[in-house]
Structure 1
Amino acid sequence: MNPLPALRIGVRVPPCDRADRLVETVRRAEHLGFDDVWFPDSQLLWRDVFTTLTAAALGTDRIGLGTAVTNLATRHPAVVASAARSVAELAPGRFTLGLGVGNSSVGPVGLRQTTSAAMREGLGMLRALLDGHEWEFDGFQGPVRSRLRDPQPHVPLHLAASGPKNLRLAGEVADGVILLSGVSPRTLEGASARVREGAEAAGRSVDDLPLTVSAFCAVTDDIEAEARLIKPICASIAQNGGAPFLALAGIHVDVPATVEGVYPDLVHAEDWDTAVDICSAWISDEAALLFAREFCLFGTPAQITERLDALHATGVTGVFLQHVGSYDPPTDLIEAVGTSVLPALSHSARAKAGQR
């Protein structure tokens, strides 16, 4: 078996400010040694993701750039193909197109999330157009065959997934997988197994697929205090069918399908303190602490480094870190991880290389 490539450490930066200002955040991440910056896409919550990516591409030299994630519901696949091509031209070899079902893009405008069948077709259309092939569109007057001028065939298409259908789909057709299950070994094992099933069904090897895991992160000596802040995240997971996964970690919660007083949703609440207070009705401090320890990367630099090493040993090839909050850049997280965790992780990797 070939040795695993070095673990890529990324950070999620919401397009919550003017693109020219956010570039400074991205440059700082690049300077501190982060491998990737991932930008989410939600047209009412943030600035346009591809505008932000364009500024980041022009303002950096090395760091990987990606969407985590855009969607094929509010954006037609042909529009996404053109936007992806345009960014990839400005950052050759550095851009990854991450795709998902929609979530905060579709909810605020009353659209449905993309089904697995529609995602399969959309991924096929994206790949064909980016590779320069014609695609037959269902026009209102009949089929229309068209192609993308000046294609960009080397844009990796990564699919974000948490449910079994999309996990298998990712293993079958995507160039990489973004796992939305946190860093819990129990849930990661199940998610990876579904990806492997999809890959094997398509005659592919899961070892050839980059596996990126998203995780909330806090560098802290006081996990209890930080854990209380992620109650809305825990509540949202329970609210959206994730209660069985939480139960595996001993977290037993029952959150109503609708929670009043939080806009636009629990994960992206504009008033985070209020969301924490509201969610305290269902998520106790003890449950939040269990969630932080099992699913998140909370702790001292040494503890986080140890967790990252353990993740890498399971076959995970990348992690992108998230801070709590959607409307400010993760400046503090970038500084804390970049100055304490990344050097320790690099030292750990060098030590292991010396032992082989």
Structure 2
Amino acid sequence: MKVGIRIPACDRPDRLASVAARAEELGFDQVWFPDSQLLWRDVFSVLSVTALRTERIGLGTAVTNVATRHPSVVASAARTVAELAPGRFTLGLGVGNSSVVPIGRRASTRAELTEALAQIRALLAGDEWDYGTVRSRLRDPAPSIPVHLAASGPRNLRLAGAVADGVVLLSGVSPETLASATEQVRQGAREAGRQSDVPLTVSAFCEVTDDVAAAARKLKPICASIAQNGGAPFLALAGIDLSVPERVDEVYPDLVHAEDWDQAVKVAGRWVSDADALAFAEAFCLIGTADRIAARLQETFDAGASSVFLQHVGSYDPPLDLIEAIGGDVLPRL
């Protein structure tokens, strides 16, 4: 039962390392940094500095990709962080959405992700990899790094269950969606002849507040983006029926990472009503009093999650208030 925090790499690495150190001091188990080269600082640089400024807390990418980074580069970078934080680093991989879209490239396919994962594992284990004209290996490998795959759709969830050391679930803490995602992961594990108890890390937007309705309105861009990117069936389980255009040009760079959040909320309001936003907050997110959030976290662990990492709304400031609120009022209740 681990509780983590997501910190966007939105500032100098030394300042972000101080934020992570504060999370460690307050009792968080993990800190996760996303990777998007145009939005934020280099994730492995931030992780390296953070590794030197912390002692206990787990570190991870949530997530990096093999579309803008060659798998051999990912393996080398992961090995470097793992050397600085022995036994504390988890390599989270995904298809690269926020890294590839701003530069006009496509996300990784399942086949590409599967092959890249095999390559990374081989290199980290010290094995040679066939690059066509040459066979090469990683000097000074680090074979003990767990590799987790981020997934939301059924096919990627089954893939993660089949090949990964763990899964980052992007479906929130809704009991119905969590149960559905968990079963897909377990099915993939069974089909691959693996044990089905693959570690599950659930991501969830979070805010400690007495005014759930006001907090929910700020989540409209998140809700719209989920519908926009194939998550409409998950939303429908909570009675939220949305149809959002594939492109929303008024918001840069996209709805989830909008630079002008107030504008994003206004634009997303075309498709997401206040009632929809409230339903989304109550079903998928951890919004409410400290007691309520602690209870929902316990329910999420009881439903099979091995860890949860919390996100604040916004991409360009560290979650200082959320860290203090959760560390001061929620973690003691657990």
* TM-score greater than 0.5 by the shorter chain: yes
Match of 2:187, as an amino acid? E
Structure 2 residue 135 is the aligned partner of structure 1 residue 136: no
Q: State the alpha-carbon separation in 2 of the partners of residues 244 and 84 from structure 1.
A: 34
Q: State the alpha-carbon separation in 2 of the partners of residues 116 and 257 from structure 1.
A: 21
> Partner residue of 1:219?
208
Q: 1:99 aligns with which of 93, 99, 105?
A: 93
Displacement of 1:70: 0.1
Structure 2 residue 271 is the aligned partner of structure 1 residue 277: no
Q: Say what the alpha-carbon RMSD is for the aligned residues.
A: 0.7
Query: Rg bigger for which structure?
Result: 1
> Partner residue of 1:339?
328
Match of 1:255, as an amino acid? V
Question: Structure 2, unaligned stretches of length 5 or more?
Answer: none
TM-score between the two structures when normalised by the length of structure 1 = 0.93
Structure 2 residue 103 is the aligned partner of structure 1 residue 109: yes
Q: How does 1:140-179 map to 2 (within 5 A)?
A: 143-179=133-169
> Partner residue of 2:232?
243
> Partner residue of 1:303?
292
Match of 2:99, as an amino acid? S
Q: 1:120 aligns with which of 109, 114, 131?
A: 114
Q: State the alpha-carbon separation in 2 of the partners of residues 152 and 298 from structure 1.
A: 39
Match of 2:21, as an amino acid? R
Q: State the alpha-carbon separation in 2 of the partners of residues 202 and 48 from structure 1.
A: 35
> Partner residue of 2:181?
191
> Partner residue of 2:31?
37
Displacement of 1:12: 0.2
The aligned length equals 334
Match of 1:309, as an amino acid? Q
Structure 1 residues 140-181: Cα deviation after superposition (integer angstroms, max 9, x where no partner) = xxx310000000000000000011121111111100110010
Structure 1 residues 167-200: Cα deviation after superposition (integer angstroms, max 9, x where no partner) = 1111111001100101111111111111111111
Displacement of 1:260: 2.4
Give secondary structure in 2 for the equivalent of 1:105. Answer: helix
Match of 1:280, as an amino acid? G
Displacement of 1:50: 0.3
> Partner residue of 1:349?
none
> Partner residue of 2:4?
10
Identity over the aligned pairs, expressed in percent?
Answer: 68
TM-score between the two structures when normalised by the length of structure 2 = 0.99
Displacement of 1:245: 1.4
> Partner residue of 1:3?
none
Structure 1 residues 9-58: Cα deviation after superposition (integer angstroms, max 9, x where no partner) = 00000010000111110110000000000000000000000000000000
Q: State the alpha-carbon separation in 1 of the partners of residues 285 and 163 from structure 2.
A: 28
